[in-house]
A and B are shown apart, each in its own frame.
Chain A
């Protein structure tokens, strides 16, 4: 199932790209390039070949582990893309973690104390959160917390004058490995605003779905059984309630991961985050077909992977779900 989906994906991206007007050779060589040099570069890039030959050689490369070479820089994409990709993953994962921890707890407590002031407040905030466009939220965060209050940096991933030495390219992990806590502090400060802006919508959606799922579960007989044992309500809610309420929440989290990756591109633009969104964006400006194709493919593959993990988690949570 996974492979056909990804192949379909490459086809779609391949054709959409070629519908975008603009000639890569022209963009590389500039307006004053001669006809001869343009033709030479075009054939060197293989762009004078019919589309099926181009697609075939692209696919052949993929299956032999060669994800292509950038037209613009001439460097293998596998070398270039990694730091950008990891930067996006770091941002998305932190955003998702924030969304899960806060959203899930807000949902659980709202259901536990249904119709309390907490419930009302949390759900109003969630409603506002869902309807908030990311770019607007990002700009407001930026304006308020970094420009107005000056608490947090407004752009980038690190202090450009004192950059992090990358090991894994996950800067949180890298600075921890190096034991450099002042750098870790810098990295965390850079992460907070974009991660919060990116995580807000997911947080709101997770809070709402957790609440409704929990309300349903809390009416179950086994909740009453747990109470009748003399268990503390906190444990009744978190042990017996939450695990049962988790399946729909997990589905939503899986879907959010895709939306989050999309949102990451927007967030990266606003917060100058050197992620894959920015990498692909620059490639689009240069009609750098291989980079665009591969960049999108990698994001898609990651999304598919997340959904696989979610499926496996279902079975781990609910013994009634079995995979053959």
Chain B
């Protein structure tokens, strides 16, 4: 899948907010791509744009292409888009507690997802649902299937969500902060499950998170977003070892380390600007320790650094390979 120059804006009373601003990236077959950035940087809006589910009004895809198997999702009629949703591209959300419908059983919701895209009678679909529930590691699937969501724990519900997303063996799974609402041990289990599904079923995963630790564990490549724009892209190792954008450096520094005392916990100074609130210059300039005068007047372009790496910062314009020790 390839996203080219995607811009999604919200038309609000306070003006037009470009929540996603000329964003381009791609996800290879069977790969796990991490998308990181602080709250409000446009991660969810990017994924909703891919699904064609941006709340409209006030949101709208202004420009760009989202290519999947040669089709541009931004141009498809709703009917074709419905065939793709849940079938070719599936999505799971941050809040497992509220993402399942409380008034229908797990089975009802799984069977519905299956029968939307596959010709199966109720009995076959139910068997398939039990099968997929076992596949995602849900215990006692035969009994659990008739339970209501409120009878399950958060971790189990997220497994149900994953099962529901995986029923049609999608080519791409978008996971929008799938572990944020879970406690740490459950987080690790869910991540392991996603990794396993990715390896076994060759499902590409777009893993959205603001936790760099999560990215390091499961992803191959990372896209770092800031205020609606991509500021750095590259493979996980090089971004961890040699982060180039000052924002990425800050993010890595603020990952808590077991050996670190709490009072030494680093956080990037300043607040996240709203996308589009900075009209001029680099969006990160106000918080950047390397900022020069130029950073406040000119907008840095995304520089291609070769080897699939790119970074949006003037510091890397001239020198080929500057990196900072963290």
Chain A residues in the interface with B (C-beta under 8 A)? 220-222, 224-232, 240, 243-244, 317-320
Contact = CB atoms under 8 A, between A and B. Distances in A.
Contact of A230 (B84, B100, B101, B161): B84
Nearest to B82: A230
A229 B100 contact: no
B53 A227 contact: yes
Given A228-B85, A230-B83, A230-B86, A240 B101 contact: yes
Given A225-B101, A229-B116, A230-B85, 15 more contacts: A221-B93, A221-B95, A221-B99, A222-B98, A222-B99, A224-B93, A225-B164, A227-B53, A228-B90, A230-B83, A230-B116, A231-B112, A244-B102, A319-B103, A319-B150
B113 interface: yes
A222 B86 contact: no
B240 interface: no
Contact of A231 (B82, B84, B93): B82
A228 B82 contact: no
Nearest to A228: B91
Interface in B64-120: 82-87, 90-91, 93, 95, 98-104, 112-113, 116-117
Contacts of B83: 230
A146 to B, nearest CB: 44
A305 B90 CA distance: 47
B148 interface: yes
Contacts of A230: 82-87, 116-117
Given A230-B86, A230-B116, A319-B148, A225 B161 contact: yes
Most interface-central of B51, B101, B117 (chain A CB within 10 A) = B101
A229 B117 CA distance: 9
Contacts of A228: 51, 53, 85-86, 90-91
Contacts of A220: 98
Given A228-B90, A231-B112, A222 B85 contact: no
A232 B83 CA distance: 10
A229 B164 contact: yes
B297 to A, nearest CB: 40
Contacts of B98: 220-222
Nearest to B47: A228
14 contacts: A221-B95, A221-B98, A222-B99, A224-B53, A225-B100, A227-B85, A228-B85, A228-B91, A230-B84, A230-B85, A230-B87, A230-B117, A231-B86, A243-B104
A70 B116 CA distance: 63
A320 B91 contact: no
Nearest to A231: B116
B53 A222 contact: no
Nearest to B97: A221
A243 to B, nearest CB: 5
